[in-house]
Amino acid sequence: MDKFAAVERALRTAAPHTLPGIVAVALAEHYGAEKVELRLADYGMRSLQAVESPPFGAEPVLIHNSPQGRAFGAQEPVVTNDPSGRSVEVHLPVTIRGDRMGVLSVRMPENGYTQAVLPEMQHICEVLGHEILVAERDTDLYVLARRAARLTLAAEMQWQLLPGRSCSRPEFSLGAHLEPAYAIFGDNFDWSVSADHLTLAVTNGMGQGIEAALLTNLAVNALRNARRAGLDLAGQAALADQALYAQYQGRAHVSVLLLRFDLDTGDVEAVDAGSPRLWRLRDGTVDPVSFDQQLPLGMFEDTVYTPQHFTVRPGDRLLFGSDGVYDASSPAGERYGQRALARSLTGTRLLPPTQVPGAVLRELAEYHGETPLDDDALVVCLDWNGRTACLAGKEL
């Protein structure tokens, strides 16, 4: 049995909480590793937290100023040499289907390292990512590792509801982020990919704290229930609207921008039911994309929703933002969505979509000034590659 197969087998048969130890033993046995460390990105995407059992003693590593952070951001191995010249440290991204989870750092003797081992180690990280995803059903170890601070109960509910923070397929790549990461309450996003379609929902539940989190949870699960029942986009919005009205009788509502992308043609069906908004970067130019706004979910009984259509082209970048983003104001009173958001989207055009939401939200915080943001802030970035050239359809 070759080395990679042996490590893969060890990981697949390990108990959920033992994965870091199993991979360390396996890499020591088969690759001569002297030290192995697994770190996962925290909820704020600012640091890489060591996966360890309590009491937690390892210091976090900053994403934006470290070799581990470079490996995480670039999604490529980063190799550093020990000053003594006796060892090298290999930092490898741990990612599953485009969702960036963390970094595995492996220290090896310099005379035992060659670039030929990198592909095998990258494959091991892929297996490790899959096993962590499965293991999270049965242990809190990896969820705890992501916390640089305590989550509020509302934030706990929202993060558990999310499908991930990024996703990648040949046709598209997307990334998303929420702030304040440890105290989010009403904003959320959801996606699902089939053989032929990407369905994306950007939601904003009214209110604050646990009430907003409960409201958004009901809306997202109602949309999922309708989607999984085979309803079209308008039917999904209508069923979620009915579920919210039945529970709250119009006292609370959820804003949602709901989209369904055809992976073959780039045709997009959209239902705009509230406050989330969309901007498009095409050929270096940023334009807001407007729809006929319809009623937020849950305001009235039996609301009828009408989808609209547009087409995306290969090379398009779409940015979705909640009202906590575009309505945030500078100390001078100018809203971020008036001009600054377009500048930010242009300024981040060379970044991959996984890094754009964090970059936009950091710039938003600086734009807003010293005081904390008044509302949740959600950014989703989608790069469209396309499966084939768009055949027909209405251009934006």
Q: What is the pLDDT of residues 11-47, one digit of tens each?
A: 999 999 999 999 999 999 988 999 999 999 999 999 9
pLDDT bucket at 251, cuts 50 / 70 / 90: very high
Total-model pTM: 0.92
pLDDT at 390 over 60: no
pLDDT bucket at 152, cuts 50 / 70 / 90: very high
Q: What's the rounded Cα separation, in Å, for the pair 273 and 36?
A: 48
What strands, in cross-sheet order, belong to the sheet with 317-321?
166-169, 172-179, 377-384, 317-321, 277-282, 285-289
Q: Share the mean pLDDT of the chain.
A: 92
What pLDDT, in 10s, does the model give residues 307-365? 999 999 999 999 999 999 999 999 989 999 999 999 999 999 999 999 999 999 999 99
State percent of the chain over pLDDT 70: 97
pLDDT confidence of residue 372: 77
State percent of the chain over pLDDT 90: 83
pLDDT confidence of residue 230: 96
pLDDT confidence of residue 394: 44
pLDDT bucket at 389, cuts 50 / 70 / 90: very low
What pLDDT, in 10s, does the model give residues 173-194? 999 999 999 999 999 999 999 9
pLDDT confidence of residue 136: 94
pLDDT confidence of residue 393: 43
Residues 6+ apart with CB under 8 A from 182: 43, 44, 147, 148, 149, 150, 151, 152, 155
pLDDT at 159 over 80: yes
322, 212 Cβ separation under 8 angstroms = no
Residue range 110-116: mean pLDDT, rounded = 85
Residue 32 zone, left/alpha/beta (φ > 0; ψ -120 to 50; rest)? left
Distances in Å between the Cα of 306 and the Cα atoms of 188, 191, 255, 270, 273 are 22, 20, 15, 9, 10
Distances in Å between the Cα of 84 and the Cα atoms of 113, 123, 325, 326, 368 are 15, 29, 48, 51, 46
pLDDT confidence of residue 84: 75
pLDDT confidence of residue 259: 98
